[in-house]
Every structure is written in structure tokens, then in C-alpha cells.
Structure 1
Amino acid sequence: MTKDVIALTPQMPDLPTLLAGLYAGGPDLGVNTTADGAVVQLCGPDGRPLVSVEAPILVLVPGETTRLLDHAVEDGPVWWTEARASTAIAEAGRLAGSFAGRLATVLGGTVWPPEAASTDVVPLTTDVSAIPAPAAGAPAVDVLTDTTAVVIQDRPLIAMTSWLSDALRTATTADRALQIVTPPTARLTMPTRNALRGLPNRWVVQDREHGYYDGLSGAVLHWKNGTFTPVQDEQGATRVAEAFAPAPDAGDRQLILTLRTRHPADENLVLGHALETAFRHLTGAPPAGWSTAEPVNLPWSKRQLTDLARARAPRPTWLVMVGHSGHPALATLRVLRTPAGVEEEITLALGYGGDETPPLDAVEELATALAAEHGLVTLLTSLRSARRDLTVPPRLEAPPVPVAFTLGGDEAAAVGQARAGHPPVGTLPKRLGPGTTPALHYPLGDGTDPGAWSVFQRLVRHLQGG
């Protein structure tokens, strides 16, 4: 049984309802709060947390629960209350299910996964005093060592929830790796994949037949010195797990845009224009919603996300956006305050089935708009063979193939128009926009020839003066 249980209710769980849910363990268990009251914990007699419950989230973006849980609910606002059970206590998963089941029964909602729901009182029979105490202040972390925070997730889709976001932030602050352990049936959302991309963070897949391996690289892993590390042969080479073989090509593709913008640090600056412009050009509509984690729960608002980024400055702000449920589209946005101004780092991914055509012909027009109106620095557009739903399986996937690269007008001027306008390979760039400092758009192919990577790398070296 999964250790994560979610109650989805049409009404916000109030204090009496939460207390009724927390009574799932009977009168012998206690209640504690952490994270400045944002997390309520059901505790054993010795104060050990058994189930941690995060503050309910009102999800106003249609389709989010279905995207993350494959669990259809009425298409309207829903309160998402997530309970995470300790993986060290046998009864904890049933306690989480009883907590969520009681909320759903009182408020007329549903529980994910459905089989976890109950309203039974679950007595604590495990001798918790014989189990090592968990790390203090880290309800999402199952194992904590000097170098690594390990989170065990047994759910089909691993989203970058506030649980994981907090665990990643805490681990990074303490100079630890975050390693997420899942079964081989799990997949990652794009925001989670991006967050785990840099080592020493890892996605650790636990396969009964093949042992442990890295879900993004395929490297066979073992637990050594308090962390998961690659197994090396006598020559020092890393072995790749057999289970990491590529899946059959179903014809699905992903269009991926990686772009950076820069703006003067003005009090009237409103962020999110570049992202909205990209969504409109490629999907025909603005983003449906935004949030600091998944599920994406807030309706799209450039003003609100700007206010949040301004309140957090000069610290960076990381956000996730989702498109309307009719077409898979996900984006992450990182806002940075730099000496040059305010920068936005955006990754936008869109999914297409075998019978759908990615809108490559819209990229040049989009690049023109970004360069003219939204402070474009660089834009890299690429295409890859990968799942339409934008989720990441623990299998070998083909890398993205560059389609086009756009250099903003100011950046092109800094390089020098003579140099930037005459690349060593490929076709000459197209000048986007009038004036003496136009942006330069370099076509690199149709996304089917892996050789476009070498062309792009030579172009970048040329622009950097190499």
C-alpha cells in the first residue's frame, strides 16, 4: 500500500474535521505541529511522527488532479489534503488512509488511492521505541545521512509537491544530495525531472529483479557510505541496468523551448509576459495556472507571480505553470535578480501524439515577438521522441535534437553583428526585427538529425569567440 494518501474534498477541511481524521489512531496517539504550523503530525506515545498532514490546498486549475493522480473528480475547485505516512511504522499507511477516509466521508469527497480509504481506528501495535528516531524537522525525509536525504515514494507519478520542494531546499541548504527512491512503475513529472537533473541528486529505482539503478542515466547503484552511488567494474566503468532499455517508439514527441529574458529592475516591471507569449503562440491560450509546487493550484496571473517574486527578492523564485487540460503543456520559471537586472529562465515543454504535428513553423514568429517586446537573451528550440503526457519513465529516452537557436538583439550586438551574422557552419541567420541591433535566428534542422547538436555546439563556440 502506498504511504502517500490524498483526500480530495469540495469543502475545506475545518479544525473539527481534521481532528476527527487525526483520531484515526485512537486516544493513545498525540498531535504535533511543525513547519510553523503548516504541517500537523499524528504521533506515537513517545512523540514520534507517524503521519504528517500538510495544510489543505485549494486547486482551482481544471485537470490538475487528473494529470497528477489519474483520478477523475468533478471539474471544479477541489481541496487537496495530503497525508504522508512514515515508511518505518507498519501501521502508518493504514493510519494515513483512515485519516483521509474520514475527511472524505465527512465532506463528501474522494480518496487517492481509492483502496487506501477507510474510517477504521488503527491501533498502534509496533514497538516504536525499537525503531531509530527520524530526522527532526524533515517530515518528507525517510533516511537522513551526513551527505544525503532519501525520500521513498510509492506512487505512480512523482510530482514536485511542496513536500519534495521543501526536502530539496532543505537538502541543498545543508549541502546534501536529495535521492528519491521509487518502484520501476513510477514516472516523474517534468518539474521533478528538472529538479533532479544535477548530481548528486538522483532518482533511484528499486527493481526486484535488477536491484537499484538511476532512473535518468541507467547507472547501476548501491548504498555505500550513506548514499546511493554507481557500481563500477574493475576498469572503473559504470554498468547500465538491463531494465533501462528504451521503450518502443510510439510516435510521441515533445517540443522543448529553453529561453532566457532580461529586464531592467524597474518597480513597474511585470513578469511572465514572455512565458504567456510562448503559450499563446504554441497552444493558442495563456497558461491555465501557476504555483510554487505541484499540483498547480492558482489561476494564471502575471501580477500575482510578480508580487511573489518581488517579495522574495533578492532570493531566486522557482515556479511551475501548466497549460489547459486539452493539450499537454508544462513550464518552469526561475526568476533571478542579477547585476544586469531581473532575469527569467524558462523551460517550456509541449507534448504531441503520433498523429499531431508540432508547430515548428510558429517558432520564428515567437522568437520575433520575444525579441521585440520581452527582452529575449537566448532561445533554444528542440524536439525529442518522448511521451506526449510529458512524464518521464525510468527508461532510456532519446535526447532532444536542436531545431533553432535565437540570439537576442543586445546579445548579438555584444558579440558583434559581423561575427554573429556569419556562423562557421549551417545557414546564415535570419534577422528578426528592424534597426541596427536585430535578433538573429539560426535554423538548425527539423528535429530529426542528431547531427544538429554538433552544428549547435560549433555555433555556440563561434559566438563565444572560441
Structure 2
Amino acid sequence: MTNDVIALTPKMPDPWTLLAGLHAGGPDLAVGTAADGAVIQLCAPDGRRLLSVEAPILLHTPGEAERLLGLAEVPEVPMWWTEARATTTVPEAARLAGSFAGRLTAVLGGTTWPPEAAHTAVVPVDTTVSVQPATEDTLPAVDVLTDSTAVVLSERPVVAMTSWLSDILSVCTEADKALHIVTPPHTRLTLPTRTALGGVPHRWVVQDDECGYYDGLSGAVLRWQGGTFAPVRTDAGPAAVAASFTRDTGVDERQLILTFSTRHIPDENLVLGQALEIAWRTLTGSPPAGWSTAEPINLPWSTRQLTDLARKRAPRPTWLLAVGSQDRPAIASLRVNRTEHGVEEEITFTTGYGPGEQPPLDVIEPLAETLVTHHGTMSVITSLRAAARDLTVPPHLAAPPVPVAFTLGPQNVNDVGHDRAARPPLNLCPVPFGPGNRPGMHYPLGDGTDTGAWNVLQQLIRHLRSGDKPGTG
């Protein structure tokens, strides 16, 4: 059984209802808080942490429970998402989490994930076995913590970049530790989680019947050694690759990806997120459905609200996520930075297409023109890859995206030099955008089926960079 149990309720879990849920372990257990009161913890009399309950989240975005939990029947939005995580060191803790969630839904209505975990029975906890109590600085959602690595065990169908997982990642980064997420082979990652785990020393550790464990992103066979998961080397030296990772999954679905950056002059009337909204409307026919700083995405889409948050956090960077409607899977990450040049947005937008659905490549050029001429866009890379329509990441070898187009904004064209940007030494015909004295340039590279487009793009970028003026770009 999973260590995580989630209650989805149409009514807010008030303090009395939460207290009734926490009485699932009987009257002898202690209640405490962590993370400045954002996490309620249920502890044994000897100090063992049994259960950590996150503050309930009000979801306004339709489809998030279906996207992240695979549930077919859930309360209508707005609904409350209350997450409980049981420790793996106490056998009774998992049933305790199920009783907590079951008591919430019994009082408030709604459903739980996983459905079979919910019950309302009292779960006695064996207090005769004592272990060293958790210290205040121990992360409540970590299952194993060593000098080098924090290990999180998860059996969710989809591992999302939740607020607690984001907090663990931040603490690990500051402490120079690795975050290793261990999952069964059927689990997938959301794109934000995949991006977060894509850099050394973090790993997605997949359980495998054949080799034990392997890295879900690289395929390297792993072993627990020296307090961390490390690759198993072959006699020749390189890491062994798991057979499960390289098996052909035969995906007949695609993802269209736009990676672009914008730059704005900071002033009190600046509104962020408008370039992303234009791209979203152009490619899907509707605006984003919601935004948040973590998954599940809980807030209705609002460029004004996300601008206010970024302004409040400045000069620190702000990282945001957005999702689309259920009929057209789409997700984006947006990072806002205050730099010496102005306020910059770094955006990655991805949308999925199933068998028989054609990505709208014909709108890429006019969209790029709109972005560079009206929204301060510095550059755009458009690419296409064979991958799941639902935008989840399985633990299998995946083909890289293939470039479709590359676009430079007027400032970057000016930095490179107009003549150099307009005359690449390749079989390319750049399309100028905007005023003739200060245009942007759009370079069509193909339809996303020819992997040779990568070589063309690399040559183009080398050509453009050789014309950069010192201190620009």
C-alpha cells in the first residue's frame, strides 16, 4: 500500500474535522506542527513521527485530480485536496493515513486516493518498540536520509512537483544533497518533476524485477551503496543499462514544445504571462485553465495575480506552473527573473497530440511574429517529439525532440548584426518580422520528422554567435 493518502472533499476540512481524523490512532498519540505550521504531524509517545498532513489546498482547476491521480469520479471544483503521508518505519502508519482520510470523507463527503485505503477504524500503534525520535530539522516527507542523499518512496501513478517535494528539493540543493525518488515501474513523472530530477545528483530510481533498480531517465542500473543509489559499472567502464529501459514502447503520440524568453522594461503597469497566454490560445484555442507555484495547479488563470506574486518576490526569481483544459493536455513552466536588462520570463510550453491529431505547425510562424513584435520575446525554439499525449514521462528510453523552427527577436538580431542574421551559410530562408530597420528573424527548420534538423540548428547558432557583440546576447 502506498504511503500517501489523499482526501478530496467538496467542503473545507475545518480544525474540528482534522482533529477527528487525527484521532484515528487513539488518544495516546501526540499532535505537533512543522514547516511554520503548514504541516500537522501525528507522533507516537516516544517521539516517532507517524503521519504528516499538509495544509488543505483549495482546487479551482478542473481535471487536476484526474491528471495526477487517475481518478474517474471526483468532486466538482472547487474542491479541497488534503494530503497525508505515512512514515515507512512504522507498520501501522499506512493504515493510520487511510483512517485519517476516510474520516475526513465520511464527514465532508468526497473520495480518497487510493480508494481502497479509506476506512474509519481506530488503528492502535505499538508503542513498545522505540526508535530515535525525529529531530526538528529532519524533512517530514523523507523516508531515508543519509549524509549525501534524501530518499523519498512513492507509489503514486504520477509523481508531481508538489509543494512538499519542491521544499525537499530546495533543502537538498542548499545542503548539497541528492534527492532520489524511488517508484514502482508503472509510475510516471509530470514534466515539471522530470525537469527537476534531470540534473546531477538527483535521480528517479525505478524498481525493476530484472536488475533491482535503474535510473528512469538515463536507464543506468543502480545499486544502494555508500548511502546513495549509484550506477553499476560494467567491465568496460560505462554504467550498465537496464533492459526494461530500452524496450520499445511504440508510442504513436506527439508533443509540441515551445521554449522562449521575453524581456520587459520594469514599470508599474507591466503584466507578466501575456506571451504565454497568446501562445496557449494560438495552439489550443483557449487560455490556460490555472496556475500555481506547485502541483496540483489550484488557482484560476490570472496574469494579474501571477504578476503580483512575482513583484512581491522580486528581486528573487519566481517559478510558476500553468495547465490547460482537459480536452487539450498542455502544461507550462514560467520563471521570472529580475536582471540588469529588465524583467525576463523563461517559458517552456508543451501540448500533447494523440494518434490522428496533427500539431498545428502552420501557426508557428505567425505566432512567432506576434511574440517578437508585440511581447518582447528574445528567442523561440519550436520542436516536436514522439511522447505521450497526456504529457507524463514513463521510465523508458525516449527520442529527443526534433527542431521545427528557431526565432530571434529584434534585440538579438541587432546584437548579431542584421546582415549576418539574414544570410546564414546554410540552405535556410529566414523570414524577417517587424520594422525593416529593426526586424526579428524566423528560421524554419522542418516538420519535426528529420533528426538532421539538430545539425542545421547547431550550425545556425554557431554562425549567429560568432557575430555577437561583446557583452550582449
Structure 2-normalised TM-score?
A: 0.96
Q: Please state if 1:58 is matched with 2:58.
A: yes
Deviation (angstroms), 1:332: 0.6
- Between 345-354 and 420-429, report the one with greater CA deviation: 420-429
- Between 175-184 and 67-76, report the one with greater CA deviation: 67-76
Match of residue 6 from structure 1: 6
Match of residue 367 from structure 2: 366
Distance 1:279 1:125 in 2: 53
1:42-73 deviation line (CA, Å, top 9, x unaligned): 11112221110000000001111111111121
1:77-104 deviation line (CA, Å, top 9, x unaligned): 1100000111111111100000000000
Letter aligned with residue 138 of structure 1: L
* Counterparts of residues 286-325 of structure 1 (less than 5 Å): 286-325=287-326
Match of residue 211 from structure 1: 212
Q: Please state if 1:158 is matched with 2:159.
A: yes
Q: Does the residue aligned with 2:130 lie in a helix, a strand or coil?
A: helix
- Between 70-79 and 410-419, report the one with greater CA deviation: 70-79
Match of residue 402 from structure 1: 403
Letter aligned with residue 90 of structure 2: I
Letter aligned with residue 409 of structure 2: G
Distance 1:3 1:131 in 2: 21
Match of residue 199 from structure 1: 200
1:155-204 deviation line (CA, Å, top 9, x unaligned): 11101111111111111111222111111110001111111111111111
Letter aligned with residue 64 of structure 1: E
Distance 1:222 1:127 in 2: 33
Match of residue 377 from structure 2: 376
RMSD: 1.4
1:18-61 deviation line (CA, Å, top 9, x unaligned): 00000010011110001111000011112221110000000001
Match of residue 464 from structure 1: 465
Deviation (angstroms), 1:277: 0.7
Match of residue 17 from structure 1: 17
Deviation (angstroms), 1:238: 1.3
Match of residue 111 from structure 1: 112
- Between 274-283 and 427-436, report the one with greater CA deviation: 427-436
Relative distance call for 1:19 and 1:412 in structure 2 (3 A) is same
Q: Please state if 1:190 is matched with 2:191.
A: yes
Match of residue 414 from structure 1: 415
Distance 1:361 1:246 in 2: 34
Distance 2:427 2:154 in 1: 46
Match of residue 340 from structure 1: 341
Assess if the C-alpha contact under 8 Å between 1:142 and 1:150 holds in 2: yes
* Counterparts of residues 226-265 of structure 1 (less than 5 Å): 226-265=227-266
Distance 1:131 1:402 in 2: 54
Structure 1 residue runs without a partner (length 5+):
none
Distance 1:182 1:170 in 2: 21
Deviation (angstroms), 1:7: 0.4
Match of residue 427 from structure 1: 428
Q: Does the residue aligned with 2:219 lie in a helix, a strand or coil?
A: coil
Q: Does the residue aligned with 2:315 lie in a helix, a strand or coil?
A: coil
Distance 2:355 2:129 in 1: 52
Relative distance call for 1:246 and 1:365 in structure 2 (3 A) is farther
In percent, how many aligned pairs have the same letter? 65
Match of residue 282 from structure 1: 283
Assess if the C-alpha contact under 8 Å between 1:189 and 1:391 holds in 2: yes
Assess if the C-alpha contact under 8 Å between 1:135 and 1:141 holds in 2: no
Assess if the C-alpha contact under 8 Å between 1:246 and 1:397 holds in 2: no
Distance 1:308 1:452 in 2: 39
Distance 1:422 1:200 in 2: 42
Match of residue 94 from structure 2: 93
Distance 1:319 1:275 in 2: 12
1:337-359 deviation line (CA, Å, top 9, x unaligned): 11111111111110001110001
Distance 2:131 2:356 in 1: 57
Distance 1:224 1:132 in 2: 25
Distance 1:387 1:123 in 2: 44
1:140-164 deviation line (CA, Å, top 9, x unaligned): 2112222222111111110111111
Distance 1:249 1:431 in 2: 39
Relative distance call for 1:426 and 1:121 in structure 2 (3 A) is farther
Assess if the C-alpha contact under 8 Å between 2:50 and 2:93 holds in 1: yes
Match of residue 329 from structure 1: 330
Q: Does the residue aligned with 2:350 lie in a helix, a strand or coil?
A: strand
Letter aligned with residue 330 of structure 1: I
Match of residue 30 from structure 2: 30
Distance 1:140 1:364 in 2: 46
Assess if the C-alpha contact under 8 Å between 2:49 and 2:133 holds in 1: no
Relative distance call for 1:441 and 1:128 in structure 2 (3 A) is farther
Assess if the C-alpha contact under 8 Å between 2:9 and 2:79 holds in 1: yes
- Between 257-266 and 5-14, report the one with greater CA deviation: 257-266
Match of residue 69 from structure 1: 69
Letter aligned with residue 184 of structure 2: P
Q: Does the residue aligned with 1:36 lie in a helix, a strand or coil?
A: helix
